[in-house]
Structure 1
């Protein structure tokens, strides 16, 4: 089994510990992970802001870089949704407009879609595991990001993985299926609405008494954790991969978060 880590831009630039956690977790489960250094943005930012033609070279680049791997795994539902849902749409539109002759957009999309998995999908559906040997002795509530919830249909996979973590107490998040307000450029174009939605999500998380707000998409967690830090709230946003990578011998801890969870 040849597995490539599709790290995504947000994780690469802002949350490298999440990428390290994915590698640690998968290697612990016996998976050999490669990181193709030639990977770039999947094109989601371009696509969502209306620069759809400009995103097309990134589709071809993505397929080229990840060619030959059995699976491509990403700790980001939004980027996986971009590949699986929007790449075929882009190819269909380009073909309908007569712009894809000889450029291979349809072939690139066809190659990328079936091999690309969000992390929890890969763990549960491909590896067939929910107990990954994790240990995380904290109270946790889980926020299902919109792309994973609605576009990928992750369902209860993340919660099943969390429920199997030793020491972890999972508390239900009120209004869990409501958007946190990030939405990529939505947060930039509608900052007041975005902040209000984020505050609702934080208030709901705090009402559970949990000390950790877990998610599977660092873009949403970045939005929420920024607000949490400014309020000095007794809550910490942590990516699911970092919880699953934590063991009793090697507990979750980074220079940025050491001592912040009790």
Structure 2
């Protein structure tokens, strides 16, 4: 797994690249060792065909807005350079990868996405972790308490930013802690453990009062009556016999 991850989303003119539909927006958010770097790649693209009305209802990107935008052929090399060698994090990856591979082929690029980077599908991860439940991006936001109230329409960059939070929650936050021989953090990017110097450190010890000890004994008496004997009592007796 690459230390560099790119959370990616696309918006398109329709749902089927084989029917000639195009990518009209690509949004990428960079994360290195599970920390967002603030580095993004976000472009709108002029398609070879009109955006379907149903698609505009989803993402709000109109044909008029895209009229002066560059085509995929003009920005394909820049996109490849940005994602090369990274692990792509995509929700329902088959959709986006299918479109990206079609655009690469259509515009004369020799490589396909699997040759450029690896891909992790968060939809597949969510279905494995929550089988039989709704695992859309919105559903996962609700499940993990991630605020997506500003997501009135789909947008590639916004969805990538939201997916970054979902991915970290879905995969359990920090997954590894690597320590060097000295006990300090290595250069993996994890925060080093800071050791406390115990020299001269005085710890305050609070001892139970006589009243608290009596209440504790009364509770052990109750456990003795309701069970085969309180474990604490047996341990105390065994310690005295030893």
Mark yes or no: TM-score above 0.5.
no
Rg (Cα) greater in structure? 2
Q: Which has the higher strand share?
A: 2
TM-score (normalizing by structure 1)? 0.27
TM-score (normalizing by structure 2)? 0.29
Q: Which has the higher helix share?
A: 1
